[in-house]
Amino acid sequence: MSHAMGVRLVHNLTHPSELIIDLTDGPQLVHAIVAVGRRSHLWTARSMGWGSEAASLIVAGWPPAADVGAPVEFFARGRRSLLPGGCLAVLLPHADPVAAVELVLAAKQAGLAYLQHIVAIGQSSRGRHRRQLDIHTDVLVVMRPTGGDGGA
């Protein structure tokens, strides 16, 4: 994930006083959280405790740590850790075009609602007559519904 993508996620999906849980590898999201002036809990993907305070945004890479279980279990844990209306953003490997569909179905089974699939261009090369995409990141964003039981 690029720094710019991290800033957009943090800025667009959170408010200043809300918590962000960072389950990603690398410093990009941490830098974005600091740049936008938010607060976070930084957790290694292996701990998966995700803390006791509910967050407005959780960002995680996919696939998560091996001990998480099935995708529906991952999303159920995420749902329990989100505020109503909070979002879980999953950074997908772009090598598997079917992964997004499978993850949306798992998130729905866990009581989360599909919000958005972002294709973030990280770098492009320009030839004389064509433009070719070199690097991109797919970001699947699901949210915990705000009303009633949230679909769970």
Please report which residue ranges of 15-114 form alpha helices under DSSP H.
Answer: 28-36, 71-80, 99-109
Predicted structure pTM score? 0.80
The answer to whether residue 65 is domain-embedded is yes
Q: Which domain holds residue 130?
A: 3-143
| Cα–Cα dist 52/36, whole Å | 23
Can you give the pLDDT at residue 85? 95
Domain count for the chain, please give it.
1
**CATH number, domain with residue 25:** 3.40.50.150
Can you give the pLDDT at residue 43? 53
Can you give the pLDDT at residue 45? 44
Residue numbers in the chain where pLDDT is lower than 70: 41-50, 65-68, 94-95, 120-135, 148-152
Residue 133's CB is within 10 A of a number of other CB atoms, namely 12
The answer to whether residue 102 is domain-embedded is yes
Please report which residue ranges of the chain form alpha helices under DSSP H.
Answer: 3-13, 28-36, 71-80, 99-109
| Cα–Cα dist 91/60, whole Å | 6
The answer to whether residue 36 is domain-embedded is yes
The answer to whether residue 152 is domain-embedded is no
Can you give the pLDDT at residue 41? 60
Can you give the pLDDT at residue 150? 47
